[in-house]
Amino acid sequence: MRELAGVGLAAAAAVCFDGAVAWQAHEARQEEPMRAGHLLARLLRRRRWLLATAIAALGWPLQLAALSLAPLTLVQPTLALGLVALLAASAIVLHEPVGRVEIGAAAMIIGGVVVLGFSAPDHGDTHSGLLALLVVIVPLAALALGPWLRHHRGRPAALGAAAGFVATGLTTKLVSDGFSTGDVAAIVCWAALTAVLAVAGSADDMAAMQDLPATRVAPAILVAEIVGPVLLAPLLFGETWSQTPGGGVWIVVGLVAVLCGALPLAASTTSAAAGSSA
């Protein structure tokens, strides 16, 4: 029941995260191509972008709550359910056509999450030492902040966005663990780093989509955001796959199913967003 509640909270977080994507992309494309830092400063003056960002921010406490109940191996792939909600909203509200590919992709995501729900490792609130965490998180943070410092857009910005969102998945887990153990210092430090990485990742994402098609940027970042934290969970958070059904085989099956559904769905939904901004 705890894991089921965690999946529900993660799904609600996903709706907040993905519900903001189309509006953020729309507003970013109204600006001239510029480096990530300047673009963010311009977007901060746009009310729609601020509203979309506020909706996305509402997803973070829901993600924290999900991680307090379910393992990272389950929560992170569940965030792909936001694409299903976005597809449904496009069909119902915008009356956009939904074909067999989109329906099949949505079914793959849902099926993959169900498989992961039955095969994910037990939830825990322990993690590796600070040195091991920093060895992983510091390089990701450097990649996320790089486009700001070097005035890069395009592929470097996309790489920075992917690294930033992978890192926020890890630091959000650490904030959740801090709440579980009552470690106030950990909560404050990791939450502050999460905020910095989220801002950097979002700005990199917007800068990347000014030079590259959204249908290429969004799926690539989504894969990193899902796969990165899941693969690092056994190393950093003790979510051992060998103790799960099939010795981790079913985790791989569920993860692959989620990705097989998420990739075409991400391309479809971001393509619609691009069309709405023309």
Reported as a pLDDT band with limits 50, 70 and 90, residue 127 is confident
Task: Specify the pLDDT at position 276.
Answer: 45
As a whole number, mean pLDDT of residues 201-228 equals 76
As a whole number, mean pLDDT of residues 69-94 equals 80
Give the rounded percent of residues in the chain with a pLDDT score beyond 70. 79
Q: Collapsing DSSP states into helix, strand and coil, what is residue 122?
A: coil
Higher pLDDT among residues 42 and 114, named by residue? 114
8 Å CB contact between 206 and 148 = no
Reported as a pLDDT band with limits 50, 70 and 90, residue 36 is low
Task: Specify the pLDDT at position 168.
Answer: 94
Count of domains forming the chain: 1
**Residue 252 pLDDT more than 60?**
yes
Domain with 196 in it: 2-276
**Residue 90 pLDDT more than 70?**
no
Q: Counting beta carbons within 10 angstroms of the beta carbon of residue 275, is it exposed (0 to 12), middle (13 to 18) or buried (19 or more)? A: exposed
CA nearest to 248, candidates 126, 122, 120, 127:
120
Element (H, E) at 48: helix 47-67
8 Å CB contact between 219 and 41 = no
Neighbouring CB atoms inside 10 A of 216's CB total 15
Tell me, what amino acid is at 198? A
pLDDT digits (tens, 9 = 90+) for 142-192: 998 887 666 666 678 888 888 999 999 999 999 999 998 889 999 999 999
Task: Specify the pLDDT at position 75.
Answer: 92
**What integer best gives the mean pLDDT of the chain?**
81
Lowest mean pLDDT among 18-32, 47-61, 120-134: 18-32
Task: Specify the pLDDT at position 278.
Answer: 37
Task: Specify the pLDDT at position 199.
Answer: 85
**Residue 114 pLDDT more than 80?**
yes
Neighbouring CB atoms inside 10 A of 184's CB total 10
As a whole number, mean pLDDT of residues 78-88 equals 81
**Residue 69 pLDDT more than 70?**
yes
Reported as a pLDDT band with limits 50, 70 and 90, residue 80 is confident
Range among 11-20, 41-50, 107-116 rated most confident: 107-116
